[in-house]
Protein backbone atom coordinates (compact mmCIF):
# COMPACT_ATOMS: atom_id res chain seq x y z
CA UNK A 1 0.00 0.00 0.00
CA UNK A 2 1.39 2.67 -0.54
CA UNK A 3 0.51 6.80 0.26
CA UNK A 4 0.33 9.24 -2.64
CA UNK A 5 -1.36 17.06 -4.38
CA UNK A 6 -0.08 20.23 -3.39
CA UNK A 7 0.06 19.75 0.35
CA UNK A 8 1.75 16.47 0.81
CA UNK A 9 3.99 15.54 -2.05
CA UNK A 10 4.19 11.83 -2.67
CA UNK A 11 4.80 9.99 -5.89
CA UNK A 12 5.18 6.52 -7.21
CA UNK A 13 8.86 5.87 -7.68
CA UNK A 14 10.04 5.15 -11.17
CA UNK A 15 10.56 1.46 -11.74
CA UNK A 16 14.17 0.41 -11.65
CA UNK A 17 15.23 -2.70 -13.53
CA UNK A 18 18.61 -4.20 -12.77
CA UNK A 19 20.56 -6.43 -15.09
CA UNK A 20 22.87 -8.68 -13.10
CA UNK A 21 24.80 -11.88 -13.43
CA UNK A 22 23.31 -14.99 -11.90
CA UNK A 23 26.39 -16.01 -9.87
CA UNK A 24 24.74 -16.00 -6.46
CA UNK A 25 23.69 -19.21 -4.73
CA UNK A 26 21.17 -19.99 -2.04
CA UNK A 27 22.85 -20.73 1.31
CA UNK A 28 22.40 -24.12 2.94
CA UNK A 29 20.08 -23.91 5.93
CA UNK A 30 21.17 -27.25 7.37
CA UNK A 31 19.62 -27.97 10.76
CA UNK A 32 17.56 -24.75 10.58
CA UNK A 33 15.66 -25.93 7.49
CA UNK A 34 12.57 -27.04 9.41
CA UNK A 35 12.31 -23.85 11.51
CA UNK A 36 9.93 -21.08 10.55
CA UNK A 37 10.82 -18.93 13.57
CA UNK A 38 14.15 -19.05 15.40
CA UNK A 39 15.40 -16.63 18.04
CA UNK A 40 18.34 -16.19 20.39
CA UNK A 41 16.42 -14.93 23.44
CA UNK A 42 12.63 -15.12 23.11
CA UNK A 43 9.80 -15.67 20.66
CA UNK A 44 6.72 -13.67 21.63
CA UNK A 45 3.36 -13.67 19.88
CA UNK A 46 0.15 -11.65 20.14
CA UNK A 47 -2.87 -12.26 17.95
CA UNK A 48 -3.81 -14.85 15.36
CA UNK A 49 -0.34 -15.65 14.07
CA UNK A 50 0.06 -18.74 11.89
CA UNK A 51 3.46 -20.43 11.81
CA UNK A 52 4.04 -23.36 9.47
CA UNK A 53 7.15 -25.10 10.78
CA UNK A 54 9.15 -25.41 13.96
CA UNK A 55 9.64 -22.62 16.49
CA UNK A 56 12.91 -22.44 18.40
CA UNK A 57 14.86 -20.40 20.94
CA UNK A 58 18.52 -20.91 21.81
CA UNK A 59 20.18 -20.36 24.20
CA UNK A 60 17.03 -18.74 25.61
CA UNK A 61 13.93 -20.73 26.42
CA UNK A 62 10.88 -18.43 26.37
CA UNK A 63 8.25 -19.05 23.67
CA UNK A 64 4.92 -17.39 24.45
CA UNK A 65 1.56 -16.69 22.81
CA UNK A 66 1.17 -19.80 20.67
CA UNK A 67 -1.21 -21.94 22.68
CA UNK A 68 -4.09 -19.68 21.66
CA UNK A 69 -4.69 -17.67 19.58
CA UNK A 70 -1.39 -18.26 17.76
CA UNK A 71 -1.38 -21.42 15.63
CA UNK A 72 1.66 -23.50 14.63
CA UNK A 73 2.17 -26.81 12.86
CA UNK A 74 5.66 -27.75 13.98
CA UNK A 75 7.43 -28.37 17.27
CA UNK A 76 8.75 -26.09 20.02
CA UNK A 77 12.47 -26.33 20.74
CA UNK A 78 14.08 -24.22 23.46
CA UNK A 79 17.52 -24.14 25.05
CA UNK A 80 21.00 -24.75 23.68
CA UNK A 81 20.99 -28.57 24.10
CA UNK A 82 17.96 -28.95 21.84
CA UNK A 83 17.68 -28.93 18.07
CA UNK A 84 17.28 -25.16 18.37
CA UNK A 85 20.95 -24.92 19.33
CA UNK A 86 22.02 -26.76 16.20
CA UNK A 87 19.60 -24.65 14.16
CA UNK A 88 21.18 -21.46 15.48
CA UNK A 89 24.61 -22.70 14.44
CA UNK A 90 23.30 -23.52 10.97
CA UNK A 91 21.53 -20.16 10.66
CA UNK A 92 24.75 -18.37 11.59
CA UNK A 93 26.58 -20.34 8.90
CA UNK A 94 23.93 -19.32 6.35
CA UNK A 95 24.36 -15.68 7.40
CA UNK A 96 28.12 -15.94 6.92
CA UNK A 97 27.68 -17.61 3.54
CA UNK A 98 25.50 -14.74 2.35
CA UNK A 99 28.02 -12.19 3.64
CA UNK A 100 30.76 -13.68 1.46
CA UNK A 101 28.76 -13.56 -1.77
CA UNK A 102 29.86 -10.88 -4.22
CA UNK A 103 27.63 -7.84 -4.56
CA UNK A 104 26.24 -7.32 -8.04
CA UNK A 105 24.39 -4.04 -7.38
CA UNK A 106 24.90 -1.44 -4.63
CA UNK A 107 21.61 0.19 -3.64
CA UNK A 108 22.91 2.16 -0.67
CA UNK A 109 20.73 5.19 0.04
CA UNK A 110 17.87 4.10 -2.21
CA UNK A 111 14.39 3.02 -1.20
CA UNK A 112 13.34 -0.35 -2.57
CA UNK A 113 9.81 0.85 -3.27
CA UNK A 114 9.00 1.08 -6.98
CA UNK A 115 11.97 -1.03 -8.06
CA UNK A 116 11.91 -4.11 -10.27
CA UNK A 117 14.96 -6.30 -9.65
CA UNK A 118 16.28 -9.44 -11.31
CA UNK A 119 18.08 -12.22 -9.41
CA UNK A 120 21.29 -10.91 -7.88
CA UNK A 121 23.09 -9.80 -4.74
CA UNK A 122 22.00 -6.34 -3.63
CA UNK A 123 23.93 -4.42 -1.00
CA UNK A 124 23.10 -1.59 1.42
CA UNK A 125 26.14 -0.37 3.34
CA UNK A 126 23.87 0.81 6.16
CA UNK A 127 20.10 0.71 6.51
CA UNK A 128 17.49 -0.20 3.90
CA UNK A 129 13.85 0.80 3.55
CA UNK A 130 10.81 -0.26 1.58
CA UNK A 131 7.89 2.08 0.97
CA UNK A 132 5.45 0.80 -1.64
CA UNK A 133 5.98 -2.24 -3.84
CA UNK A 134 9.21 -4.06 -4.68
CA UNK A 135 8.89 -6.44 -7.64
CA UNK A 136 11.32 -9.35 -7.91
CA UNK A 137 11.51 -10.39 -11.55
CA UNK A 138 11.83 -14.19 -11.51
CA UNK A 139 9.96 -14.59 -14.79
CA UNK A 140 13.01 -16.10 -16.51
CA UNK A 141 13.81 -18.39 -13.57
CA UNK A 142 11.24 -19.14 -10.83
CA UNK A 143 14.10 -20.57 -8.76
CA UNK A 144 16.32 -17.50 -9.20
CA UNK A 145 18.24 -16.40 -6.11
CA UNK A 146 17.73 -12.92 -4.69
CA UNK A 147 20.04 -11.83 -1.87
CA UNK A 148 19.76 -8.55 0.01
CA UNK A 149 22.58 -7.55 2.37
CA UNK A 150 21.98 -4.74 4.87
CA UNK A 151 24.80 -3.23 6.93
CA UNK A 152 22.35 -2.35 9.68
CA UNK A 153 18.54 -2.31 9.65
CA UNK A 154 15.70 -2.92 7.26
CA UNK A 155 12.32 -1.27 7.81
CA UNK A 156 9.20 -1.47 5.68
CA UNK A 157 6.40 1.11 5.69
CA UNK A 158 2.84 0.04 6.42
CA UNK A 159 1.08 -1.79 3.58
CA UNK A 160 4.27 -2.25 1.58
CA UNK A 161 4.72 -5.30 -0.62
CA UNK A 162 7.37 -7.59 -2.04
CA UNK A 163 5.94 -9.29 -5.13
CA UNK A 164 7.36 -12.07 -7.30
CA UNK A 165 6.72 -11.17 -10.95
CA UNK A 166 5.95 -14.77 -11.85
CA UNK A 167 3.35 -14.90 -9.09
CA UNK A 168 5.46 -17.45 -7.24
CA UNK A 169 6.41 -17.66 -3.60
CA UNK A 170 10.08 -16.71 -3.81
CA UNK A 171 11.74 -19.85 -2.43
CA UNK A 172 15.22 -18.38 -2.81
CA UNK A 173 14.87 -14.85 -1.45
CA UNK A 174 17.18 -14.01 1.47
CA UNK A 175 17.49 -10.88 3.58
CA UNK A 176 20.74 -10.67 5.56
CA UNK A 177 20.27 -7.92 8.14
CA UNK A 178 23.23 -6.47 10.04
CA UNK A 179 21.14 -5.53 13.06
CA UNK A 180 17.33 -5.49 13.37
CA UNK A 181 14.48 -6.02 10.94
CA UNK A 182 11.07 -4.34 11.30
CA UNK A 183 8.31 -5.43 8.94
CA UNK A 184 5.62 -2.72 8.99
CA UNK A 185 1.92 -3.18 9.60
CA UNK A 186 0.15 -5.22 6.93
CA UNK A 187 3.29 -5.53 4.83
CA UNK A 188 3.25 -8.57 2.54
CA UNK A 189 6.82 -9.79 2.52
CA UNK A 190 8.61 -12.52 0.60
CA UNK A 191 11.64 -14.51 1.66
CA UNK A 192 13.79 -15.51 4.62
CA UNK A 193 15.04 -12.89 7.07
CA UNK A 194 18.29 -13.66 8.93
CA UNK A 195 19.08 -10.80 11.31
CA UNK A 196 21.96 -10.49 13.77
CA UNK A 197 19.69 -8.78 16.30
CA UNK A 198 15.89 -8.75 16.59
CA UNK A 199 13.01 -9.21 14.15
CA UNK A 200 9.71 -7.42 14.73
CA UNK A 201 6.69 -8.41 12.69
CA UNK A 202 4.14 -5.67 13.35
CA UNK A 203 0.39 -6.14 13.20
CA UNK A 204 -0.84 -8.03 10.15
CA UNK A 205 2.56 -8.39 8.43
CA UNK A 206 3.15 -11.64 6.52
CA UNK A 207 6.05 -13.43 4.88
CA UNK A 208 6.44 -16.55 2.78
CA UNK A 209 9.72 -17.41 4.50
CA UNK A 210 11.57 -17.82 7.77
CA UNK A 211 12.42 -15.44 10.61
CA UNK A 212 15.84 -16.05 12.18
CA UNK A 213 17.13 -13.68 14.91
CA UNK A 214 20.72 -14.71 15.71
CA UNK A 215 21.27 -12.53 18.80
CA UNK A 216 17.87 -11.19 19.70
CA UNK A 217 14.13 -11.81 19.91
CA UNK A 218 11.41 -12.44 17.37
CA UNK A 219 8.21 -10.53 18.13
CA UNK A 220 5.00 -11.36 16.26
CA UNK A 221 1.48 -9.92 16.14
CA UNK A 222 -1.11 -11.52 13.88
CA UNK A 223 1.47 -12.65 11.28
CA UNK A 224 2.51 -15.61 9.16
CA UNK A 225 5.85 -17.37 8.72
CA UNK A 226 6.73 -20.52 6.78
CA UNK A 227 9.59 -22.99 6.98
CA UNK A 228 8.84 -24.40 3.55
CA UNK A 229 7.34 -22.49 0.68
CA UNK A 230 6.06 -25.78 -0.71
CA UNK A 231 3.55 -25.79 2.13
CA UNK A 232 1.98 -22.52 1.02
CA UNK A 233 -1.38 -22.88 -0.67
CA UNK A 234 -2.88 -20.85 -3.49
CA UNK A 235 -6.60 -21.61 -3.36
CA UNK A 236 -7.70 -19.49 -6.31
CA UNK A 237 -4.71 -20.40 -8.49
CA UNK A 238 -3.77 -16.82 -9.34
CA UNK A 239 -0.11 -17.35 -8.45
CA UNK A 240 -0.34 -15.41 -5.17
CA UNK A 241 -0.01 -17.43 -1.98
CA UNK A 242 -3.09 -17.36 0.23
CA UNK A 243 -1.20 -15.69 3.07
CA UNK A 244 -0.29 -12.81 0.73
CA UNK A 245 -3.62 -12.73 -1.12
CA UNK A 246 -6.26 -10.33 0.19
CA UNK A 247 -8.76 -12.26 -1.96
CA UNK A 248 -7.61 -15.92 -1.68
CA UNK A 249 -10.82 -17.23 -3.25
CA UNK A 250 -11.04 -14.76 -6.15
CA UNK A 251 -8.57 -15.28 -9.02
CA UNK A 252 -9.39 -11.81 -10.44
CA UNK A 253 -8.28 -9.98 -7.28
CA UNK A 254 -5.15 -10.22 -5.15
CA UNK A 255 -4.18 -7.03 -3.32
CA UNK A 256 -5.75 -4.13 -1.45
CA UNK A 257 -3.74 -0.92 -1.96
CA UNK A 258 -4.79 1.88 0.38
CA UNK A 259 -4.10 5.55 -0.32
CA UNK A 260 -3.13 5.94 3.35
CA UNK A 261 -3.75 4.35 6.71
CA UNK A 262 -5.63 7.30 8.22
CA UNK A 263 -7.12 8.93 5.13
CA UNK A 264 -6.82 12.55 3.99
CA UNK A 265 -8.96 15.70 3.96
CA UNK A 266 -9.67 18.03 1.05
CA UNK A 267 -10.98 21.57 1.66
CA UNK A 268 -12.38 24.05 -0.88
CA UNK A 269 -13.03 27.76 -1.33
CA UNK A 270 -16.13 27.99 -3.54
CA UNK A 271 -15.91 31.57 -4.90
CA UNK A 272 -13.40 30.84 -7.73
CA UNK A 273 -12.26 32.74 -9.75
CA UNK A 274 -12.68 35.28 -6.95
CA UNK A 275 -10.92 34.67 -3.67
CA UNK A 276 -14.05 35.16 -1.56
CA UNK A 277 -13.67 35.12 2.21
CA UNK A 278 -10.93 32.49 1.83
CA UNK A 279 -12.05 30.56 4.88
CA UNK A 280 -11.36 27.29 3.06
CA UNK A 281 -14.33 25.57 4.69
CA UNK A 282 -16.95 25.76 1.96
CA UNK A 283 -16.74 22.00 1.58
CA UNK A 284 -14.68 19.74 3.83
CA UNK A 285 -14.42 16.12 2.73
CA UNK A 286 -12.35 13.37 4.34
CA UNK A 287 -11.46 10.56 1.96
CA UNK A 288 -9.57 7.32 1.56
CA UNK A 289 -9.16 4.92 -1.36
CA UNK A 290 -8.69 1.20 -1.69
CA UNK A 291 -7.38 0.28 -5.14
CA UNK A 292 -7.77 -3.45 -5.73
CA UNK A 293 -5.26 -5.06 -8.08
CA UNK A 294 -4.86 -8.56 -9.49
CA UNK A 295 -1.81 -10.81 -9.29
CA UNK A 296 -0.10 -8.74 -12.01
CA UNK A 297 -0.74 -5.48 -10.08
CA UNK A 298 -3.30 -4.35 -12.66
CA UNK A 299 -6.15 -2.24 -11.26
CA UNK A 300 -9.45 -4.13 -11.27
CA UNK A 301 -11.57 -2.23 -8.75
CA UNK A 302 -11.66 1.13 -6.95
CA UNK A 303 -13.39 1.80 -3.64
CA UNK A 304 -13.61 5.37 -2.38
CA UNK A 305 -14.64 6.20 1.16
CA UNK A 306 -15.79 9.79 1.70
CA UNK A 307 -17.01 11.67 4.76
CA UNK A 308 -18.68 15.07 4.33
CA UNK A 309 -17.67 17.09 7.43
CA UNK A 310 -18.67 20.67 6.59
CA UNK A 311 -20.56 22.70 3.99
CA UNK A 312 -19.75 26.31 4.86
CA UNK A 313 -21.49 28.19 2.12
CA UNK A 314 -24.80 29.18 0.56
CA UNK A 315 -23.86 27.81 -2.86
CA UNK A 316 -25.07 24.34 -3.68
CA UNK A 317 -21.69 22.90 -4.67
CA UNK A 318 -21.50 19.53 -6.38
CA UNK A 319 -18.66 17.18 -5.43
CA UNK A 320 -16.94 14.69 -7.71
CA UNK A 321 -13.63 13.00 -8.51
CA UNK A 322 -11.88 12.51 -11.84
CA UNK A 323 -9.94 9.26 -12.24
CA UNK A 324 -7.07 8.65 -14.73
CA UNK A 325 -8.92 6.11 -16.87
CA UNK A 326 -11.37 6.45 -19.78
CA UNK A 327 -15.03 6.71 -18.85
CA UNK A 328 -15.61 3.53 -20.82
CA UNK A 329 -13.40 1.61 -18.36
CA UNK A 330 -15.84 2.08 -15.48
CA UNK A 331 -18.22 -0.82 -14.85
CA UNK A 332 -20.77 -1.67 -12.14
CA UNK A 333 -20.58 1.74 -10.44
CA UNK A 334 -22.38 2.09 -7.11
CA UNK A 335 -22.59 5.05 -4.73
CA UNK A 336 -22.10 7.69 -7.40
CA UNK A 337 -22.95 8.78 -10.94
CA UNK A 338 -20.66 8.48 -13.95
CA UNK A 339 -20.86 11.88 -15.62
CA UNK A 340 -21.60 11.88 -19.34
CA UNK A 341 -19.59 13.95 -21.79
CA UNK A 342 -16.23 13.38 -20.06
CA UNK A 343 -13.15 11.81 -21.62
CA UNK A 344 -11.80 10.59 -18.29
CA UNK A 345 -13.95 8.87 -15.71
CA UNK A 346 -15.66 11.51 -13.58
CA UNK A 347 -17.73 10.16 -10.70
CA UNK A 348 -20.12 12.61 -9.05
CA UNK A 349 -20.81 11.82 -5.39
CA UNK A 350 -23.60 14.39 -5.03
CA UNK A 351 -25.03 17.28 -7.05
CA UNK A 352 -25.80 19.84 -4.32
CA UNK A 353 -24.22 19.93 -0.89
CA UNK A 354 -27.11 21.96 0.51
CA UNK A 355 -29.34 18.95 -0.11
CA UNK A 356 -26.95 16.77 1.90
CA UNK A 357 -26.71 18.55 5.27
CA UNK A 358 -28.91 21.03 7.09
CA UNK A 359 -26.22 22.81 9.12
CA UNK A 360 -22.94 24.13 7.83
CA UNK A 361 -20.71 22.85 10.66
CA UNK A 362 -18.64 26.04 10.46
CA UNK A 363 -20.48 28.40 12.81
CA UNK A 364 -19.68 28.17 16.55
CA UNK A 365 -22.67 27.77 18.83
CA UNK A 366 -24.87 25.99 16.30
CA UNK A 367 -25.32 22.27 16.78
CA UNK A 368 -23.47 20.61 13.92
CA UNK A 369 -25.00 18.10 11.56
CA UNK A 370 -23.59 14.59 11.80
CA UNK A 371 -20.90 13.77 9.22
CA UNK A 372 -22.25 11.95 6.17
CA UNK A 373 -20.49 8.89 4.81
CA UNK A 374 -20.42 7.82 1.16
CA UNK A 375 -18.91 4.72 -0.44
CA UNK A 376 -18.22 4.73 -4.17
CA UNK A 377 -17.25 1.46 -5.82
CA UNK A 378 -16.62 0.50 -9.43
CA UNK A 379 -14.84 -2.17 -11.42
CA UNK A 380 -12.15 -1.21 -13.91
CA UNK A 381 -12.17 -2.84 -17.34
CA UNK A 382 -8.79 -3.22 -19.07
CA UNK A 383 -7.23 -1.24 -16.26
CA UNK A 384 -3.71 0.21 -15.96
CA UNK A 385 -1.03 -0.96 -13.56
CA UNK A 386 -1.11 0.41 -10.04
CA UNK A 387 2.02 2.46 -10.70
CA UNK A 388 0.24 4.22 -13.59
CA UNK A 389 -3.07 4.63 -11.76
CA UNK A 390 -1.75 5.77 -8.38
CA UNK A 391 -3.80 6.23 -5.23
CA UNK A 392 -4.51 10.01 -5.34
CA UNK A 393 -6.83 11.56 -7.92
CA UNK A 394 -8.56 14.81 -8.89
CA UNK A 395 -11.34 15.81 -6.46
CA UNK A 396 -13.27 18.97 -7.26
CA UNK A 397 -16.43 20.97 -6.65
CA UNK A 398 -18.43 23.00 -9.10
CA UNK A 399 -21.26 25.51 -9.17
CA UNK A 400 -23.43 26.50 -12.12
CA UNK A 401 -23.56 30.26 -12.61
CA UNK A 402 -25.95 30.81 -15.48
CA UNK A 403 -24.62 28.45 -18.13
CA UNK A 404 -21.08 28.51 -16.75
CA UNK A 405 -19.70 25.51 -14.87
CA UNK A 406 -17.23 26.96 -12.36
CA UNK A 407 -15.00 24.13 -11.13
CA UNK A 408 -12.56 24.32 -8.23
CA UNK A 409 -9.64 21.89 -8.13
CA UNK A 410 -6.48 21.37 -6.14
CA UNK A 411 -3.60 23.51 -7.43
CA UNK A 412 -1.93 22.00 -10.44
CA UNK A 413 -4.86 19.74 -11.27
CA UNK A 414 -6.58 20.07 -14.63
CA UNK A 415 -10.25 20.97 -15.08
CA UNK A 416 -12.63 18.39 -16.49
CA UNK A 417 -13.90 18.58 -20.06
CA UNK A 418 -17.09 20.31 -18.94
CA UNK A 419 -15.49 23.18 -16.99
CA UNK A 420 -15.79 26.79 -18.21
CA UNK A 421 -12.18 27.46 -19.11
CA UNK A 422 -12.88 31.02 -20.28
CA UNK A 423 -12.71 32.07 -16.62
CA UNK A 424 -9.04 31.20 -16.27
CA UNK A 425 -7.01 34.29 -15.45
CA UNK A 426 -10.06 36.35 -14.50
CA UNK A 427 -10.92 37.73 -11.07
CA UNK A 428 -8.24 36.68 -8.58
CA UNK A 429 -7.26 33.56 -10.53
CA UNK A 430 -3.73 33.24 -11.88
CA UNK A 431 -4.13 30.09 -13.98
CA UNK A 432 -1.67 29.97 -16.87
CA UNK A 433 -2.47 27.06 -19.15
CA UNK A 434 0.71 27.48 -21.20
CA UNK A 435 2.83 27.29 -18.04
CA UNK A 436 0.83 24.41 -16.59
CA UNK A 437 -0.29 26.49 -13.60
CA UNK A 438 -3.86 25.90 -12.48
CA UNK A 439 -6.12 27.06 -9.66
CA UNK A 440 -3.88 29.45 -7.73
CA UNK A 441 -4.51 33.09 -6.90
CA UNK A 442 -2.44 36.03 -8.09
CA UNK A 443 -0.71 35.93 -4.69
CA UNK A 444 0.18 32.25 -5.08
CA UNK A 445 -2.48 30.75 -2.79
CA UNK A 446 -4.59 27.68 -3.65
CA UNK A 447 -8.37 27.50 -3.96
CA UNK A 448 -8.31 24.01 -2.48
CA UNK A 449 -5.96 22.01 -0.28
CA UNK A 450 -5.43 18.46 0.90
CA UNK A 451 -3.83 17.36 4.16
CA UNK A 452 -3.11 13.94 5.67
CA UNK A 453 -5.59 12.52 8.15
CA UNK A 454 -9.33 12.82 8.50
CA UNK A 455 -9.34 15.32 11.39
CA UNK A 456 -8.18 18.59 9.80
CA UNK A 457 -9.37 21.48 12.00
CA UNK A 458 -10.66 24.16 9.64
CA UNK A 459 -11.38 27.88 10.23
CA UNK A 460 -14.68 29.17 11.56
CA UNK A 461 -17.06 30.71 9.07
CA UNK A 462 -15.87 33.84 7.29
CA UNK A 463 -12.30 33.75 8.64
CA UNK A 464 -9.42 33.93 6.18
CA UNK A 465 -7.32 30.79 6.62
CA UNK A 466 -4.12 32.85 6.52
CA UNK A 467 -5.28 34.55 9.74
CA UNK A 468 -5.87 31.16 11.35
CA UNK A 469 -2.91 29.12 10.19
CA UNK A 470 -0.14 31.67 10.38
CA UNK A 471 2.31 29.88 8.07
CA UNK A 472 -0.22 28.72 5.48
CA UNK A 473 0.69 31.53 3.06
CA UNK A 474 4.42 30.92 3.59
CA UNK A 475 3.96 27.28 2.77
CA UNK A 476 1.75 27.89 -0.28
CA UNK A 477 3.88 30.65 -1.78
CA UNK A 478 7.00 28.49 -1.40
CA UNK A 479 5.43 25.78 -3.52
CA UNK A 480 5.07 23.55 -0.47
CA UNK A 481 8.75 23.52 0.52
CA UNK A 482 8.51 25.68 3.67
CA UNK A 483 6.46 25.07 6.82
CA UNK A 484 5.21 21.70 5.64
CA UNK A 485 3.72 21.19 9.11
CA UNK A 486 1.67 24.40 9.00
CA UNK A 487 -1.57 22.49 9.64
CA UNK A 488 -0.32 20.11 12.37
CA UNK A 489 2.19 22.11 14.41
CA UNK A 490 0.60 23.39 17.61
CA UNK A 491 3.59 25.45 18.76
CA UNK A 492 3.24 29.15 19.46
CA UNK A 493 3.21 31.17 16.25
CA UNK A 494 1.60 28.52 14.08
CA UNK A 495 -2.14 28.91 14.65
CA UNK A 496 -4.81 31.15 16.13
CA UNK A 497 -6.77 28.62 18.13
CA UNK A 498 -9.66 31.01 18.82
CA UNK A 499 -10.48 31.08 15.10
CA UNK A 500 -10.61 27.30 14.60
CA UNK A 501 -13.89 25.42 14.40
CA UNK A 502 -13.51 22.97 17.28
CA UNK A 503 -16.56 20.91 18.11
**Which tens digit of pLDDT belongs to each residue from 178-214?**
999 999 999 999 999 999 999 999 999 999 899 999 9
pLDDT at 47: 84
**Burial of 17 by CB count in 10 Å (0-12 exposed, 13-18 middle, 19+ buried)?**
exposed
- In sequence order, the 6+-apart residues with CB closer than 8 A to the CB of 479 are none
- Residues 484, 490, 492, 498: is their CA dihedral positive or negative? positive
pTM, entire model: 0.70
**Burial of 82 by CB count in 10 Å (0-12 exposed, 13-18 middle, 19+ buried)?**
middle
Cis peptide bond prior to 273, omega within 30° of 0? yes
pLDDT at 22: 46
Could you read off the pLDDT of 450-475 as tens digits, one per residue?
999 999 999 999 999 999 999 999 99
Alpha-carbon distance 454 to 266, whole Å?
Answer: 9
Where residue 228 falls among pLDDT bands split at 50, 70, 90? low
Where residue 503 falls among pLDDT bands split at 50, 70, 90? confident
Could you read off the pLDDT of 105-130 as tens digits, one per residue?
999 999 999 999 999 999 999 999 99
Mean pLDDT of 246-260: 91
Alpha-carbon distance 35 to 210, whole Å?
Answer: 7
**Burial of 436 by CB count in 10 Å (0-12 exposed, 13-18 middle, 19+ buried)?**
exposed
Where residue 70 falls among pLDDT bands split at 50, 70, 90? low
Picking from 309, 298, 308, 338, the residue whose alpha carbon sits closest to that of residue 322 is 338
DSSP 410: -
Average pLDDT across the chain, whole number: 90
DSSP 41: S
pLDDT at 264: 96
Alpha-carbon distance 329 to 344, whole Å?
Answer: 9
Q: What is the full DSSP assignment across 170-197?
A: -TTEEEEESS-EEE-TT-EE-SEEEESS
59 in Cβ contact with 82 (< 8 Å): no
Task: Reply yes or no on whether the pLDDT at 494 is more than 60.
Answer: yes
261 in Cβ contact with 158 (< 8 Å): yes
Amino acid sequence: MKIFNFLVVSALSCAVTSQVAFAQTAPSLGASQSFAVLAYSTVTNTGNTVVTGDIGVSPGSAITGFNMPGVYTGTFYSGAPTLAGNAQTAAQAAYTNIATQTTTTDLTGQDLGGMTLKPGVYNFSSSAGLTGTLTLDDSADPNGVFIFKMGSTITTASYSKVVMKSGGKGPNVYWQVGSSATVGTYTTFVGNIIATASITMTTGATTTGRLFALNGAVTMDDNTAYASVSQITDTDGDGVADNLDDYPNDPKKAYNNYSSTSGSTVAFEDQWPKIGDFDMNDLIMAYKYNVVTNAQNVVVQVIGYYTLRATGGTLGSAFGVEFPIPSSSVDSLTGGTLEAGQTHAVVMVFANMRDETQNWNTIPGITPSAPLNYTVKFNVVNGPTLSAFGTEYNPFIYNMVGGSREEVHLPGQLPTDLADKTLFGTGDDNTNVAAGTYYVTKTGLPYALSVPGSGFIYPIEGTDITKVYLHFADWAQSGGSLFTDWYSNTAVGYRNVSLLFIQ
